[in-house]
Amino acid sequence: MRHAPIDSQLFVSNRKRLRALLPPGSVAIVNANDVLPSNADGTLAPIPNSDLFYLSGIEQEQSILVLAPDAFDPNQREILFLREPNELLETWEGRKLKKDAAIKMSGVTQVKWLGEFETILRGLLCDAEFVYLNSNEHKRAEVVVETRDARFVRELQQRYPLHSYRRLAPLLHRTRVVKSKLELELMQRAADITNDGLRRVLNFLQPGVMEYEIEAELIHEFTRQRARWAYNPIVASGANACILHYNENDQPCKKGDLVLLDVGACYANYNADLTRTFPVSGKFSKRQREIYQAVLRVMRASIAGATVGKLHRDWTRESKLMMNEELLSLGLLKKSDIKKQSAETPASQKYFNHGLGHALGLDVHDVWQQAEHFTEGWVLTVEPGIYVPKEGIGVRLENNVVVTANGPVDLTAKIPVEADEIEELMQRAARGRR
C-alpha cells in the first residue's frame, strides 16, 4: 500500500449504503481483479478492483467480500476472504495481509482464509433467495478478456442453478457516483499532487525539452508524494495536441508552439484528471491567446453550469452552443455553418469534437447513469477544447468540480489556468535559469 492509511469508516459507510439497496434474503459477492499476464512469464502491475476497494479498502489479489445482511449468524453478515500468508508467499511476493491488519483496514470484523470460502458460501446461499454478482457495466467498456467476475458468475450458476441472480453493478453505480466527505478529501489530495506536478513543469518547460522529459518531471513529483498515474499521460506539443489520445510523448517542444498536458495523479485509488496548455517559449502568441481565452471562457461558464438537477446531455449541449459563438469570433465558423447544424451535431463539433466531461472517482471515467440528473456529491471533469490542425494549435483545459447544493466547488482551483499567471510563472522560471 503506497498511500497513507485510510479511515476504515469510509468503507463501513460505503457498505451500509449498499446494504440499504439490497432486498431481504440477498447475498452480494465482490471479487478482486485478476493479475493479468504480459509476455513470457511476466505479469502487469496489479490494478485493484474499484468496487472491492470501495467496499473494503482491500487491494490484495484473490480477495473476496461477501455481504449477507440477513444471515442468521450475525458473524456471517460481512465476511472478507483473503489468501492465507505463508513463508513461501512472503519470500517471492512480499507480505500478505494478516487478519488483524485486514480488520483494521476494512472495518470488516470477520476475516477468513480463502480455504473456508466454499463451505461458508454454501451455507449462506442455502438460506438466500437473491444472489447479487458483479460485472463491468461501464457503457464504454470493451470487455474482450474473460474476467474473474465472469468466471465466478458462470461457476456459481452451474453449482446453484435455481437461485435468482441479479446485477450488483447498477446498485454500486448509484452509490459510487455520490462522493462522501472522506472520498472528496482523497480526490482533493490527488488534485493537489497534480497541481504540484504541473507547477514543476512550468519551472522546467523551455524550447528543446522533449515531451518525455516533461512526463518524467510529472512522475517524479507524483511518486515522491505516494501517487501514481491516473492514466497514460498525454504530453502533446505543436500539432500533436490535435490528436485527442496522443500517447507517444517522444517529440521536441519547439519555440513558439503550445504543449498540451492531459495528466492526473491517482492517490489511494482516487483520481484527478487535468488538462493544461502551456506556451513552450513562456508567452502565448496573439492567435494562441485568442483561442486559449475562448476555451477558458467556455470552461468557466460550464463549471458554473454544473448544478444540481441538470442532465449531462443538456450541460454538454450548452457548452457546444457557447463554443459556437467563440468559434464565430475566432473566424473558424461562419453563421451559415451554424444555420446548417443539427441538434445531434452542433457546428462547433468540427473544432470541439469530444464530450464536455464525465464522472470522476475511483475510475477516471467513473461509473454513473446518463439518464440521472446531477445530484449533490457528483464529481465531474469539465474539459472543453479547440483543435485547429491547419494552424498546428490544440488547446484543451480541464478542471474537476464537485456538484453541491450551493453551486460547484472546484477541486483544481489552485492549478494555474489564467494566461497571465502561466506566462508570469514561466518567465520567472526562465530568469532563474539565467
Q: 193 falls in which pLDDT band (50, 70, 90)?
A: very high
Asked if 346 contacts 324 with a C-beta cutoff of 8 angstroms, the reply is: yes
Cell 472546484 sits at which residue? 410
Query: 387: part of which helix (H) or strand (E)?
Result: strand 385-388
pLDDT(298) > 90: yes
First CA to last CA distance, the chain = 42
Active site residue 192: no
Position 244 pLDDT exceeds 80: yes
Report how far apart, in Å, the C-alpha atoms of 169 and of each of 65, 144, 166, 370 are. Answer: 15, 18, 9, 15
In Å, what is the CA distance from 99 to each residue of 34, 90, 114? 22, 15, 12
163 labelled catalytic: no
Q: Confidence band (pLDDT; 50, 70, 90) for 369?
A: confident
pLDDT tens sequence across 84-115? 999 998 889 889 999 999 999 999 999 999 99
What is the pTM for the complete model shown?
0.96
Of the listed 267, 358, 363, 423, which one is catalytic? 358
- pLDDT single digits (tens) 388-429: 999 999 999 999 999 999 999 999 999 999 999 999 999 999
**Catalytic status, residue 138:** no
Which residue out of 78, 211, 217, 262 is catalytically annotated?
262
Instruction: Kindly name the residue from 245, 287, 313, 428 that is annotated as catalytic.
Output: 245
Predicted local confidence at residue 140, as pLDDT: 87
Say whether 173 is catalytic.
no
Catalytic residue among 19, 199, 317, 365: 365
As a whole-number percent, the residues of the chain with pLDDT over 90 amount to 94
Q: What rounded mean pLDDT belongs to the chain? A: 96
The per-residue pLDDT for 90 is 87
What's the average model confidence in pLDDT over 283-290? 98
Phi/psi of residue 81, nearest 5 degrees = -110, 130
Q: Looking at residues 147-172, what average pLDDT do you find? A: 96
Instruction: Tell me if 194 sits within 8 A of 231, measured CB to CB.
Output: no
365 is catalytic: yes
The pLDDT-based confidence of 366 (bands split at 50, 70, 90) is: very high
Residue in 354, 373, 410, 424 annotated catalytic: 354
Show the domains of the chain with their CATH numbers.
Answer: 9-176 (3.40.350.10), 181-433 (3.90.230.10)
CA distance 184 to 272: 11
Q: Quick one: 307 exposed, middle or buried, by C-beta within 10 A (0-12, 13-18, 19+)?
A: middle
Give the strand pairing for 393-396 and 274-279. unpaired
Q: What's the pLDDT score for residue 370?
A: 82
CA atoms within 13 A of residue 61's CA, in its CB half-sphere? 14
Question: Which of 273, 363, 366, 423 is the catalytic position?
Answer: 273
297 neighbors 304 (Cβ within 8 angstroms) = no
Average pLDDT over residues 23-37: 96
Predicted local confidence at residue 89, as pLDDT: 87
Q: Specify the DSSP class assigned to residue 112.
A: E
273 is catalytic: yes
Instruction: Give the pLDDT score at 343.
Output: 84
Q: Which of 267, 270, 292, 387 is catalytic?
A: 387
**Amino acid present at 258:** L
Query: Is 373 a known active-site residue?
Result: no
- Among candidate residues 211, 270, 396, 423, the one labeled active-site is 396
pLDDT of residue 344: 87
- Rounded Cα distance between 180 and 186, Å, is 10
Catalytic residue at 220? no
Give the residue among 195, 220, 156 at the shortest CA–CA distance from 28: 156
CB-CB contact of 248 with 239 (8 Å): no
Are the beta carbons of 233 and 221 closer than 8 angstroms?
no
Residues of 199-215 as b/e, b for ≥16 C-beta within 10 angstroms?
bbbbebbeeebebebbb
pLDDT at residue 432, as a whole number: 87
Q: What is the pLDDT of residue 403?
A: 98
Catalytic residue selected from 192, 215, 221, 383:
383
What percent of the chain clears pLDDT 70, i.e. is strictly above it? 100
User: How far is CA 185 from its chain centroid?
Assistant: 15
Q: Which of 400, 368, 392 is nearest to 262 (CA)?
A: 400
pLDDT (0 to 100) of residue 34: 95
Residue 1's pLDDT is what?
Answer: 73
Q: Does residue 434 carry a pLDDT above 80?
A: no
Annotated catalytic residue within 59, 326, 398, 423: 398
Residues 276-295, mean pLDDT to the nearest whole number? 98
